[in-house]
Amino acid sequence: DIQMTQSPSTLSASVGDRVTITCRASQSISSWLAWYQQKPGKAPKLLIYKASSLENGVPSRFSGSGSGTEFTLTISSLQPDDFATYYCQQYNSYSWTFGQGTKVEIK
């Protein structure tokens, strides 16, 4: 199975900060990567698919980039609603696998 490793595991930031989360795959997954946001007690929500495509209705401050084995999720200006845990997930091959998550906390 392809392993997905996110860094950092926890990130402390302030409103207005630019935030970047990295996700690395143990082998090439082309651009078959999605990013999800999860708030406590809630279901995950799709933010980005195919590494850089923004899901309908997701604010444009979210962006994704990368291909092959290295990917990033960037929040250009962190808003109060963005404090949550973020997961990357590869869907290049079975079993689909998630990163361990990055918790974005208030500094």
From the list 19, 71, 73, 99, which residue makes contact with other proteins (rule: CB under 8 A)? 99
Handedness of CA 55, 105, 103, 51 (dihedral sign): positive
86 sits near other proteins (criterion: CB under 8 A): no
Which residue's CB is nearer to other proteins, number 17 or number 54? Answer: 54
Burial of 37 (0-12, 13-18, 19+ CB in 10 A): buried
Bridge-based pairing of strands 10-13 and 102-106 is parallel
From the list 49, 71, 73, 84, which residue makes contact with other proteins (rule: CB under 8 A)? 49
The dihedrals phi and psi of 16, each to the nearest 5 degrees, come to 95, -15
From the list 19, 21, 36, 73, which residue makes contact with other proteins (rule: CB under 8 A)? 36
From the list 20, 32, 62, 76, which residue makes contact with other proteins (rule: CB under 8 A)? 32
Minimum Å gap between C-beta 77 and other proteins is 25
DSSP codes of every residue in 34-84: EEEEE-TTS--EEEEETTTEEPTT--TTEEEEEETTEEEEEESS--GGG-S
Which residue's CB is nearer to other proteins, number 72 or number 92? Answer: 92
Residues that bind other proteins (CB under 8 A): 1, 32, 34, 36, 38, 42-46, 49-50, 55, 87, 89, 91-92, 94-101
